[in-house]
Amino acid sequence: MDRFDGIPEQALAWHKAGKGAVVATVVETWGSAPRRVGSQLAISGDGVIEGSVSGGCVEGAVIVEALEALSDGDARELEFGVSDDDAFAVGLACGGTIRVLVEPVGKVLPEGLLEELCAARAERRPVAYMADLASGARALIGQGEATEALNQRFRMDRSGFDEGSRIFIGVHNPPLRLVVVGAVHIAQALVPMARIAGYDPIIIDPRETFGSEARFPGEKILNDWPDEAVEAAGLDSRTALVLLTHDPKLDDPALEKALRSEVFYIGALGSTRTHGKRETRLEAAGFTPEEIGRIHGPVGLDIGAAGPAEIAVSIIAEMTRVLRKGA
């Protein structure tokens, strides 16, 4: 199940219910700030909150300012120094400074724009919220309309001010997802590691003996043919696909679907010789060398991995490198 933070959705719900709502966003940090840029807190008109902009040390002041902003209808920029004592209380070694943008919904943050943002998030479409703090303008930009600099922000999950301007860019990416074809030993190590790294895993294996609740407790398992299952799961720019079966009958149909999609990572288990045979089959199926070159095979960074757990580490590392730095 996709796990959004839910802040925009909650703020919209409060606003539509007539309670009033404010969205507070961390727009800049210095030092060891408790939350990263882009972190959000929603505040209702009756003082109910969702989310956070710090480890709890400045929320009280933000709530007071938010309720005043809701009353007067103006945006506010707040700056807080987080003391060493407060920083220690929230698990940091030293203090820092954060700047928070406070935006009342409907008065500064338009209701229609917030609805568009929530719709994009529900449809797993990457979108950037742009707030021009000089002019007061607000807008949304989808990934397809983005400049190279903005695409870099999408890739890095990095919100922040556009260089040399007063334009804040809040990146809203869908949750990361990992689709694993082949419920083998490596998958048993890879899936929990992927969860720790922030992915929602889906395991695909038509062999119910392998893809079972007993082997993957609590995980989403599809005991369907891989090409049908990956299509049903959805393959988008926030999805990584890892194939672990060694069986062309299972791997190749899923690979062909993935190569025609926007998944950011495709990895396939097997030796260099096995991968060479895979490339030959895909060429015969009509794929170009450039398309086939998207496949990372043998899968994972070459760290001399031995055993399922270390191979899983190498796969997570390679996925992270591609996600953050590009192929």
CA distances from 126 to 116, 175, 197 (A): 12, 10, 19
Which range, of 78-92, 198-212, 235-249, averages the lowest pLDDT? 78-92
Q: Is the peptide bond before 201 cis (omega within 30 degrees of 0)?
A: no
pLDDT given at position 199? 94
22 backbone dihedrals φ, ψ, rounded to 5°:
-130, 140
pLDDT score recorded for residue 83: 62
Q: To which residue do tokens 């993957």 refer?
A: 216
Q: What pLDDT is attached to residue 260?
A: 93
Mark 256-288 as b/e (b = at least 16 C-beta within 10 Å). Answer: bbbbebebbbbbbbbeeebbeebbeebeeeebe
Given this model, what pLDDT does residue 94 score?
53
Is residue 92's pLDDT more than 60?
no
Q: Cα–Cα distance between 169 and 26 in angstroms, integer?
A: 11
**CA atoms of 51 and 36, how far apart (whole Å):** 13
| pLDDT, position 1 | 32
State the average pLDDT over residues 86-108: 74
Q: Within a 10 A sphere around the Cβ of 50, how many other Cβ atoms?
A: 18
- Look up the pTM and report it: 0.75
Q: Max CA-CA distance within the chain?
A: 68
**pLDDT at position 86, please?**
55
Quick check: bond before 104 cis, omega within 30?
no
Q: How confident is the model over 271-285, as a mean pLDDT?
A: 94
CB count within 10 Å of CB 307 equals 11
**Interval 231-269: pLDDT, tens:** 888 898 899 999 999 889 999 999 999 999 989 999 999
Mind listing the domains of the chain with CATH numbers?
7-172 (no CATH), 176-325 (3.40.50.720)
Whether the predicted pLDDT of 277 surpasses 80: yes
Helix, strand, or coil (residue 48): coil
pLDDT digits (tens, 9 = 90+) for 127-184: 999 999 999 999 999 988 888 889 889 888 899 999 889 999 999 998 899 999 999 9
Q: What is the rounded distance in angstroms from the CA atom of residue 205 to the CA atom of residue 251?
A: 10
What value does the mean pLDDT take over residues 297-312? Answer: 94
Residue-level pLDDT at 201: 96
The average confidence (pLDDT) of the chain is 90
φ, ψ at 300 (rounded to 5°): 90, 155
Burial class (CB in 10 A: 0-12, 13-18, 19+), 29: buried
**Which pLDDT belongs to residue 33?**
64
Expressed in angstroms, the distance from the first to the final Cα of the chain is 27
- pLDDT at res. 95: 60
Task: Give the distance from CA 183 to its chain's centroid.
Answer: 24
What distance in Å separates the CA atoms of residue 157 and residue 173, rounded to the nearest whole number?
7
User: What's the rounded mean pLDDT across residues 60-75?
Assistant: 94
Tokens of 306: 């031995």
Gap between the Cα atoms of 204 and 118, Å rounded: 29
10-50 confidence digits (pLDDT tens): 999 999 999 999 999 999 987 766 678 999 999 999 999 99
